[in-house]
Amino acid sequence: MEKFHECCDTHSACGLPTSSPVLYPTRLIDVGKTDDEHIRLYDTHDFVYHGPYFCLSHCWGETQPYILTKETAAALRSGLHTNELPRTFQDAIHVTRKFQVRYLWIDSLCIFQDNIEDWSTEARNMQKVYSGAICTIAATAATNHGEGLFFARKPEFIRPRWINTTWSPKAISKDGNHDSKLRYPPAGMYLFENTDLWVEGVEETPLNMRAWVAQERHLSTRIMHFGAFQLFWECRKIKACESYPKILPSWLSPHWSHVGDAGNDAATSLKQWPWGHLDRLYWSWMTFRIHYSMGAMTKESDKLVALMGVAEEVGQVLGDELVAGLWRKRFLVELCWSVFRNTYEPIFEPVPLKPTKWRAPTWSWVSTNNQDWLDISS
């Protein structure tokens, strides 16, 4: 909670929040007050109370959660008891109330799942949904909507571990000619740390291995990651966690950034260098696309749809548009992609996986299910 307020109050790079966002999603869940047992779905054009909102990023899993349909809409609008919702939704409502935020956006409850037209419209609006939220709650460690946000804590994974060494050099024979001494690090106190703390706790988790979530992370301003053993914080300025509550050390932090990277980087760069550096902006997009293509996707048809929120944000800044996943103004360069090849694998690799139904021309990276890579050197 401290990191959230610090970011909102002092991180100008993250955008200091106003009392209400400029644009609201089409629908939001009113979580009410702490002691309320019901939540309600509101169409935002009927809003009486205005204020900030949170988003939930989560894995659906193999079973379907409670969803918004023509049949369930009336119950959601009149008031649904929280006990009818899966554990992850209940926990997200609890967290939202703790931060004294009134509204929460959850995809399955705010988009009609039985209306293709509504789903398509809202999918194109992901840019304003996640970028407009004051914070995103990420069920990072949960594999499905029933596991919730909170897991059994293990203090040994949170507290820094210090080791006091008391060894001393020992005489040994070297080449049988003379004695020398083994070289040990100086005796003293050493910090024993998992150098993959962030990678294992955030990057390589059930949630962040999903393609849809790559877009959600890039569009979000702030994210609270509810991990398996501790809470992680991610915003445009810093990363932090319970082990390192002020800031994550550079040696534990990945070199790339996710939150607000593509759109924010583009907007910031154009303000600073309005007469150039467009290549840097396109490269920011390419970095996102590579990470995106590594993610799993349940529906093959979502390959292009699931990144249109980021594409729209970047395209507005660049004055460009996508053509089957390739930027029109750099079309020839964008054609120089190939399926990512692991250098440790045999030269003769299997034919790249194709979707069961036609999705895009073969000259587009959207046409393959494999991870792709841009290689302009060839």
**Least confident window among 26-35, 64-73, 367-376:** 367-376
- Helix residue spans in the chain (DSSP H): 2-10, 73-78, 87-98, 107-110, 116-124, 126-132, 197-198, 211-219, 261-272, 278-293, 308-318, 331-334
* pLDDT band at residue 84 under the 50/70/90 scheme: very high
Cβ(66)–Cβ(124) below 8 Å: no
The per-residue pLDDT for range 161-178, each reduced to its tens digit, is 778 877 766 655 555 555
pLDDT of residue 298: 76
The per-residue pLDDT for range 217-261, each reduced to its tens digit, is 888 999 999 999 899 999 988 899 998 899 988 888 775 555 555
pLDDT of residue 275: 40
The per-residue pLDDT for range 90-107, each reduced to its tens digit, is 999 999 999 999 999 999
- Write down how long the chain is: 378
Amino acid at 71: E
pLDDT of residue 90: 96
Quote the longest CA-to-CA distance of the chain. Answer: 90
* pLDDT band at residue 272 under the 50/70/90 scheme: very low
pLDDT of residue 178: 53
Nearest to 139 by CA among 103, 104, 113, 114: 104
What percentage of the chain has pLDDT greater than the value 70? Answer: 81
Q: How far is CA 40 from CA 76, 128, 139, in A?
A: 5, 22, 22
Whether the pLDDT of residue 349 is over 60: the answer is no
Nearest to 104 by CA among 75, 123, 82: 82
The per-residue pLDDT for range 110-131, each reduced to its tens digit, is 999 999 999 888 888 888 899 8
- pTM, 2 dp: 0.82
pLDDT of residue 15: 75
For the chain, the average pLDDT equals 81
Q: How far is CA 255 from CA 217, 239, 292, in A?
A: 16, 12, 16
Whether the pLDDT of residue 308 is over 80: the answer is yes
Distance (Å, rounded) from C-alpha 198 to C-alpha 254?
8
* pLDDT band at residue 347 under the 50/70/90 scheme: very low
Domains in the chain: boundaries: 1-167+184-258, 260-378
Please give the full DSSP string across 68-86, using - where no structure is assigned: --TTTHHHHHH-EEGGGS-
